[in-house]
Structure 1
Amino acid sequence: MKIAFDGKRFFNNSSGLGNYSRDLVRILATYFSENKYVLFNENQSVKGKDILNLPNVSFVETSKGNFSRQLKMGKDAQQINADIFHGLSGELPLKWTDKPIKKIVTIHDLIFLRFPQYYSFFDRKIHFWKFKKATEQADLIIAISEQTKRDIIQFLKVPEEKIRVVYQGCHHAFKVNQSADFLNSIKEKYNLPKRFILNVGTIEERKNLLHIVKAIHGTEIPLVVIGKKTKYFNKVQKFVKKNKLEDQVQFLENVSMEELATIYKLADIFVYPSFFEGFGIPVIESLFSGTPVITSNISCLPEAGGENSVYINPHNFEDIKAKILFLWNNESERNRRTGKSLEFVQKFNDEEIAKNLHAVYQEVIIE
């Protein structure tokens, strides 16, 4: 098979959709090397350069200019006789020729519909139109979780039989065993506490960092936070200063993937009380890193966390506090959950995901 991809996120996004796109192409090219994988974009970047060096992965430069991605990319894929076009971020080109080509789109979440207050009216309308159009054009739709599948059915009115759930994994850096020297070097570089709990993700209201900070107030448990700051950070910082928690809460930014993977391993507990996620990659990252997880009992997070993570009501910071203290003070319980969770998280390993993705490609070709 020859599979064409919209390469915009692959080349332009450093995290999130970019990581998904690069990992997807990398694992398919590794485990199903008999296929050809072609990335379309206006230009290349250093991101994913190692993947482009694989013998079965290539790049095609598309026309530059406004709307070329929407109006020309699909035709370009047909021109090279691609069997499948896969839109990796909820979009498909709008224009096609009569030449046969199967269309697949991945939808990660519909957060803009569940939490409209975080998006402008214009952005909500554009997102909805793009996603709705893509699901109508697609022969099959990939949802990254059962939660996203339910949302696609509910909000976009897509028949269930048109959707396949294929989980995503995480960067291979989280599956590497770093040396003790490297672990110590990162601990020294960032002046990390001897013991700490960790939170990773954009510092925005939906991720609910303020409730973690409220939960550790009155304890001596250090919290390390890694993520891009938004306006919501000001609300968190105000609480930190008011309650004199500056020495207890540490904020880090611009941490490399390898350093992030190391900090996960150094943490005693990973805490992720998000109100809603499409999947919750940080939970998977933590489980692969051998760090026990406390996360929300709603949305898709139990799908990602498995039965040996600890679940909380994200609206109740006292519940978060109780669960943090429970794990913080019980090393044997942390170790038990870590071992069981490491078994569970193997369902999100590269080979399993590659098999599931390839099965969707084969299904759509046979139709």
Structure 2
Amino acid sequence: MGKVLFLRKKMQGENSIEEIAFNLVAAIPDLKLLELPEYGTSLKGILKNILFVRRNSSDINHFFSSSDTYLIPFCTGKKIVTWHDVGTDFYTRSKTKRWIKKYLLRYLPMLFCDVITCISSSTYNEVLSEFPKVKKKLTIIPNPYNPVFKRTEQSITEIPLILHIGTGSHKNLERVIEALSDIKCQLFIVGRLSSVQLTLLRKYKIDYYNEFDVPFSRIVELYKQCTIVSFPSLYEGFGMPVIEANAVGRPILTSKVGAIPEVAQEAAYYVDPHSVVEIKAAFNFLLSHKEVCDDLIQKGLCNAEKYSIEKIAWQYQKIYTQLL
């Protein structure tokens, strides 16, 4: 039985989906990983990817990103696609572009699919809302965390280090910057900063460090070095930083939006992501209440166990077996 996991061409600075795919391939016997040759954002790139898939399709063909759904009709064997989120995937001012993306590149190809996995109930409901006719093909399999994220004792530092992963608009960095004004801490930001964000950092006199296009090994080290993980996101299809913080043993400040409450359960400190006042109060509270942080850490370690690579790989392996 041949099994292939097709992975989108890696973009600079992207780590999350790629690392999950690498771990699944390592955990599932005989699962072969193939990276698509092009991004698929141009006609030339799409055609190259189609030819690549036709040459390399196998008994089981698993497309690990919904952006590659358009390739499903061009391979033989059984077909699976994983949706990580819907987000703003179909939002565009052009009705023609929206129709092409939603129906020609997503919906019609999914009719040729055998199984559609969603990484959370939130993503499941979003996909179902957009494509109700594929309901019978939908199932939920959450993301696993990389086993390199292990419980690590915090180093005692004079100034707490706040780790913020991501600088996209939905990562809510602007409100975090404002919330941290007058709080004695260092803010470590992973991701390329915009001119607006740089202006805010200067305006509020934030002591910060910034790295982008960061290798995965560096991200792991940053989790271990930090005091608190900042993740008051405005939207998430899953929210890997929640589980990564849980696994390392760091308290995480986050929001009850998208899939985050489903994933984090009681292993996070929640805020209204639209309220700078509430975010600021939460940082102050966590930095001054060690017993609360210790409780969140213990709950986080238990929560992370549900997302081990062994448990998630078994769920995918079960689907592969059922299809043959």
- State the TM-score, normalizing by the size of structure 1: 0.77
d(CA) in 1 for partners of 2:316 and 2:10? 17
Within the candidate set 17, 32, 35, 1:38 is matched to 32
Partner of 2:199: 238
Give identity over the alignment, percent.
24
Whether the 8 Å contact between 2:243 and 2:300 is mirrored in structure 1 is: no
Q: Are 1:142 and 2:103 counterparts? A: no
Q: Deviation per CA, 1:282-325, whole angstroms, max 9, x where unpaired? A: 11111111101111111101122221211111111111111111
Whether the 8 Å contact between 2:152 and 2:224 is mirrored in structure 1 is: no
Once the 2 structures are TM-superposed, how far is the Cα of residue 70 of structure 1 from its aligned partner?
A: 2.0
Q: Find the residue that maps to 1:67 and give its secondary structure.
A: helix
Within the candidate set 48, 58, 73, 1:68 is matched to 48
Whether the 8 Å contact between 2:6 and 2:36 is mirrored in structure 1 is: no
Q: How does 1:303-322 map to 2 (within 5 A)?
A: 303-322=262-281
d(CA) in 2 for partners of 1:75 and 1:255? 33
Partner of 1:20: 20
Q: Are 1:199 and 2:178 counterparts? A: no
Q: Find the residue that maps to 1:103 and give its secondary structure.
A: strand
Within the candidate set 131, 137, 145, 1:170 is matched to 145
Once the 2 structures are TM-superposed, how far is the Cα of residue 194 of structure 1 from its aligned partner?
A: 3.8
Whether the 8 Å contact between 2:190 and 2:210 is mirrored in structure 1 is: yes
Once the 2 structures are TM-superposed, how far is the Cα of residue 16 of structure 1 from its aligned partner?
A: 2.8
Whether the 8 Å contact between 2:236 and 2:257 is mirrored in structure 1 is: no
**Amino acid aligned to 1:213:** I
Q: Find the residue that maps to 1:137 and give its secondary structure.
A: coil
- State the TM-score, normalizing by the size of structure 2: 0.86
Partner of 1:288: 247
Q: Are 1:88 and 2:68 counterparts? A: no
d(CA) in 2 for partners of 1:146 and 1:268? 30
Stretches (4+) displaced over 6 A: 10-13, 119-123
d(CA) in 1 for partners of 2:11 and 2:192? 20
d(CA) in 2 for partners of 1:278 and 1:125? 22
Whether the 8 Å contact between 2:117 and 2:138 is mirrored in structure 1 is: yes
Whether the 8 Å contact between 2:247 and 2:304 is mirrored in structure 1 is: yes
Q: How does 1:46-65 map to 2 (within 5 A)?
A: none
Residues 316 and 11 of structure 1: CA distance in aligned 2, closer, same or farther (over 3 Å): closer
Partner of 1:108: 84
Q: Find the residue that maps to 1:175 and give its secondary structure.
A: coil
Within the candidate set 260, 263, 282, 2:222 is matched to 263
Q: Find the residue that maps to 2:237 and give its secondary structure.
A: coil
Whether the 8 Å contact between 2:179 and 2:276 is mirrored in structure 1 is: yes
Q: Deviation per CA, 1:111-141, whole angstroms, max 9, x where unpaired? A: 1247x37x98787555423222332211110
Q: Find the residue that maps to 2:286 and give its secondary structure.
A: helix
Q: Are 1:359 and 2:311 counterparts? A: no
Q: Deviation per CA, 1:200-219, whole angstroms, max 9, x where unpaired? A: 12x12111101111111132
Whether the 8 Å contact between 1:226 and 1:252 is mirrored in structure 2 is: yes
Q: Are 1:227 and 2:191 counterparts? A: yes
d(CA) in 2 for partners of 1:224 and 1:206? 18
d(CA) in 2 for partners of 1:260 and 1:120? 37
Whether the 8 Å contact between 1:314 and 1:320 is mirrored in structure 2 is: yes
